[in-house]
Chains A and B, each alone.
Chain A
Amino acid sequence: MARPPSRRPGHNRKAQYSLFASYVVAMTGAAVGLLLVVVAIFDPTGFAAIRIATSEVTRPASVGLKNMVSGVSSIDEVLASYWQAGSQNVALRRQVETDRNRIIEAKAVAQENLRLKKLLKLVEDDGSELLTARLIASSSSSTRRYARLNAGHWQGVRTGMPVRAPEGLIGRIHITTPNTAEVLLLTDTSNIVPVRRANDSVPAISTGLGDGTLEIRALAAGRNPFKPGDLLVTSGIGGVYQPNIPVAVIVRVAGEIAYGVPLANPSKVDAVVVERSFEETVTRPDPNVPTVAADPPAGNATTP
């Protein structure tokens, strides 16, 4: 097949100018685009206001679709659970019976704990939970890992607030628009979370790898202290995340670096909880006793 007709407009002077002008416009626009990217290097959330339109307009569609597919997304689990359903049922029943005793014990311990705390006058009014919302969409074609939350500035969500699910940490708020917010997921390559090992508090830093896994680097120099199966929780350092939110489990160790998988899968969780940032929670003054009551929690914050 021969090539398509040339775009060169022959001797028509007007057409020549028009074509030339179109290229001038295109290249100027491309330069402006490049300039916008350069601005974004220094101020990544600078032009976030431009995104308001699309995220607000697509929100109803995303919410509607989310309501339809929330049953479909777990269909693989439903099908898989039919496999060996009988023997699994027996095993699970045994486990439930053994667990029941432990739950009763745990309840008793929790109650005792509460009583002891009251004795110590260290009543923990947490109040960090802000609201519960759903993740409705994500940046699935980009290399950055953002998810869109179905709650925004008008609902009280602010930039920097941590987002968690019952299973573990999801990420933190990156940008807010009136009714939606973009969540920087835990697995984004720029999301750095201070963590510690759950059983012996070895401190570490978790960085996303962009492919659903995390890179864990121990803060202590020397041999890598982690081994597969270690559970990591937030340490509360830095003042963004509450301490003791489950983060990840280590699956592989390679030299200085350990690789982990997040405990909460954002595509499986039903709803996520937006919390106030830890700093804000512990330093918020008590309305009744403004000066005296504010001191002990602030003291707690410095010793994580």
Chain B
Amino acid sequence: MIDPHLQPAVPRLGRQPSRWRLAGTPVVTVMLGSVVTALPLIAQSPVMPPFGLLLLLSWRLLRPELWRAWIGLPLGLFDDMASGQPIGSAMFLWTVTLVGIDAVEHRMVWRSYRQDWLIAAAAIIFCIAGGVFFARITGGGGITLQLVAPQMLWTVLLFPFVVRQCARIDRWRVMA
């Protein structure tokens, strides 16, 4: 099962990864996802998928025990600072999403990859639509949902790829 790329750093029995690596890696990856907007790309329409949200959902669905629902507050605040949305928008939406996932999760009898994707799709649509609503009421003028439909679509389609990369990072994280 060991990835050949990881051969030089073979996991040794009885070694524990540092606490910083265990707890910090997920937070840092989500924050890196949020600052993708610092790339020198001057977009004319909302084209970039919200990578911060995608990574948050990936970690939450891969590792349900990793975070409590309040993690959406600091990470959401950071995303608001980087994304240009009104401050508080992602704070609210991400936290509500995480609480919602907690509530839905134990009602599902069977869980597999497809259910994860379904949950993520619902969460993505909720967060992007909520973001549009908040942008509209804080002086954004007449923004329509039609404007973000392509962004929603490819964010949902991108989720399987991101969750895979997340799993790769997770394997590195838990191996000392």
Q: Which residues of A contact B (CB under 8 A)?
A: 1-8, 19, 22-23, 25-27, 29-30, 32-37, 39-41, 44, 47, 50-51, 53-54, 58, 61-62, 65-66, 69-70, 135-147, 182, 187-190, 207-212, 265-267
Given contacts A7-B64, A27-B99, contact A140 B132 (CB under 8 A): no
Measured in the bound complex, the distance between the Cα atoms of B148 and A211 in whole Å is 9
Given contacts A3-B110, A6-B106, contact A267 B43 (CB under 8 A): yes
Q: How far is the CB of B87 from chain A (nearest CB, A)?
A: 4
Category for how many chain B residues contact A: 35 or more
B88-108: CB near A (< 8 Å → 1, else 0) gives 111110011011001001101
Given contacts A7-B106, A26-B95, A143-B135, contact A62 B39 (CB under 8 A): yes
Closest Cβ neighbor of B61 among chain A residues? A4
Q: How far is the CB of A190 from chain B (nearest CB, A)?
A: 4
Measured in the bound complex, the distance between the Cα atoms of B72 and A293 in whole Å is 59
7 contacts between A and B (CB under 8 A): A33-B95, A36-B87, A36-B88, A40-B138, A141-B51, A182-B84, A209-B147
B81 contacts A by Cβ under 8 Å: yes
Given contacts A7-B65, A26-B69, A44-B86, contact A37 B78 (CB under 8 A): no
B22 contacts A by Cβ under 8 Å: no
Which of A1, A44, A54 counts the most chain B CB atoms within 10 A? A54
A50 adjacent to B87 (CB under 8 Å)? yes
B76 adjacent to A33 (CB under 8 Å)? yes
Measured in the bound complex, the distance between the Cα atoms of B134 and A53 in whole Å is 23
Measured in the bound complex, the distance between the Cα atoms of B37 and A56 in whole Å is 14
Q: Which residues of B contact A (CB under 8 A)?
A: 35-51, 64-65, 68-70, 72-73, 76-78, 81-92, 95-96, 98-99, 102, 105-106, 108-112, 131-132, 134-135, 137-143, 147-148, 151
B44 adjacent to A145 (CB under 8 Å)? yes
Q: Enumerate chain A residues within 8 angstroms of B148, measured Cβ to Cβ.
A: 143
A34 adjacent to B92 (CB under 8 Å)? yes
Q: How far is the CB of A42 from chain B (nearest CB, A)?
A: 9
Closest Cβ neighbor of B109 among chain A residues? A3
**B142 contacts which of A25, A39, A136, A189 (Cβ < 8 Å)?**
A189
Q: Enumerate chain B residues within 8 angstroms of A25, measured Cβ to Cβ.
A: 68, 70, 73
Q: How far is the CB of B3 from chain A (nearest CB, A)?
A: 22
Given contacts A33-B88, A54-B78, contact A139 B43 (CB under 8 A): yes
Q: 3 closest A-B pairs (Cβ-Cβ)?
A: A36-B88, A139-B84, A33-B91
**A267 contacts which of B42, B46, B69 (Cβ < 8 Å)?**
B42
